[in-house]
Structure 1
């Protein structure tokens, strides 16, 4: 593009463009903004030589992991963001801790942040991001499967223990992560057994009139921890 055409597009004089190109003048903020808005030129590339030279069309930005952009809202099962065209959804990570030991208070803070999971993985796992949560585990009663400090992904739809598995449950005012087994009399659920993986912790039986003390919050489907 000629200096005259560029000057006309940006609303500046041809001499101003010439001064910038020759190094006699530095580009002003307004000039850089106009250049970016009209031609999607990256001001950081002009000033410091940082890539990209040209911004891609549409909202979003480029990063080391690819182009991060808002979701396509008209697309079925759209997530919270896309990375190189692949949908990801955020699952909230809460400050609340669950106990793999003697039990902790149900909540000790507000929502903390979130982690992104690909929608394709969530679909294969049968999970819905908005009906899932991430919480931290304290204690060693579920070690080694879930060590102290691990973060677990919880399916909040798993509020019954029809199938044996690891569940987040509330007993009285304490929150636990345990393997839960139903006790049945024919087809009627008469109680539950809370079992720890660590043999140092004995099973806890909740049955009969005490059943009201127990509430299943969700099923643990993934444990994440450092090695």
Structure 2
């Protein structure tokens, strides 16, 4: 249970409830409610708690062997949208932000034409650390609740369209028969693919055989996400 993992991880690190509450800017009562199972952290609070406990949000949610306890991931807070008239800083690059994406079968999210819409700004050093070339990066919105509580409806993800080889347990944007989806992917024997949602109660794992995988085009790996509440 998630509440038990929160409590166990806190004790492993030698933190008291007040200490954890102080690290994430909340009250001891809130942490106590999480550990009792009366309520669960979501969105920004989930990411802040995971960071304070030096683990991944996925570990707190699932606690299984497919999620690594240690994580360098950080929740990225609010951001601003710039237009083409706003000058770039020396260490900045712009990445197109596709707020409404409609995919035709087989197509990706990057277009060879000049992008005229809104853009998000990233520092070159941030992208370099992630091994991302800005020429192959794009940002899109997440629709629906299948990836909650990690990615609530309306979250924004950054996608590296040059990274299409599936690494088990990583998050990808895929074109599934003409529909943009954000899923955690796993390879299956015989050329199959497993698509996992974080909201497993409503969206159980999808197992695709080799023939069904032909309907799926991996657009790219998610390298960044921002959660707006």
Which bin holds the TM-score, normalised by the shorter protein? 0.5 to 0.7
Unpaired stretches in structure 1, ≥5 consecutive residues = 1-79, 99-104
Deviation at 1:106, TM superposition (A): 7.9
Match of 1:194 in 2: 195
What is the aligned length? 136
Structure 1 moving runs of 4+ over 4 Å: none
Q: Distance in 1 between matches of 2:87 and 2:93?
A: 7
Q: Distance in 2 between matches of 1:148 and 1:128?
A: 27
Q: Look up the SS of the partner of 2:91 in the other structure.
A: strand
CA contact (8 A) 2:127 2:134 kept: yes
Matches within 5 A, 1:10-29: none
Deviation at 1:134, TM superposition (A): 0.3
Normalising by the residue count of structure 1, what TM-score does the alignment of the two structures yield? Answer: 0.54
Deviation at 1:208, TM superposition (A): 2.6
CA contact (8 A) 1:169 1:178 kept: yes
Q: Distance in 1 between matches of 2:95 and 2:209?
A: 34
Are residue 223 (structure 1) and residue 225 (structure 2) matched?
yes
Match of 2:119 in 1: 114
1:90-149 CA-to-partner distances (Å, cap 9, x unmatched) read 011113348xxxxxx988xx7521111111111112111111000011111101111100
Normalising by the residue count of structure 2, what TM-score does the alignment of the two structures yield? Answer: 0.53
User: Is the alpha carbon distance of 1:136 and 1:211 closer, same or farther for their aligned partners in structure 2, counting shifts above 3 Å?
Assistant: same
Q: Distance in 2 between matches of 1:141 and 1:168?
A: 13
Match of 1:157 in 2: 162
Q: Distance in 2 between matches of 1:111 and 1:163?
A: 35
Q: Distance in 1 between matches of 2:116 and 2:207?
A: 32
Q: Distance in 1 between matches of 2:207 and 2:116?
A: 32
Are residue 127 (structure 1) and residue 132 (structure 2) matched?
yes
Deviation at 1:212, TM superposition (A): 1.0
RMSD over aligned Cα atoms: 2.7
CA contact (8 A) 1:181 1:194 kept: yes
Deviation at 1:167, TM superposition (A): 0.6
Q: Which has the higher helix share?
A: 2
Q: Look up the SS of the partner of 1:210 in the other structure.
A: helix
Unpaired stretches in structure 2, ≥5 consecutive residues = 1-85, 110-114
Match of 1:88 in 2: 92
Q: Distance in 2 between matches of 1:137 and 1:106?
A: 16
Range with greater deviation from structure 2 (159-168 or 123-132): 159-168
Matches within 5 A, 1:138-217: 138-185=143-190, 190-199=191-200, 200-217=202-219
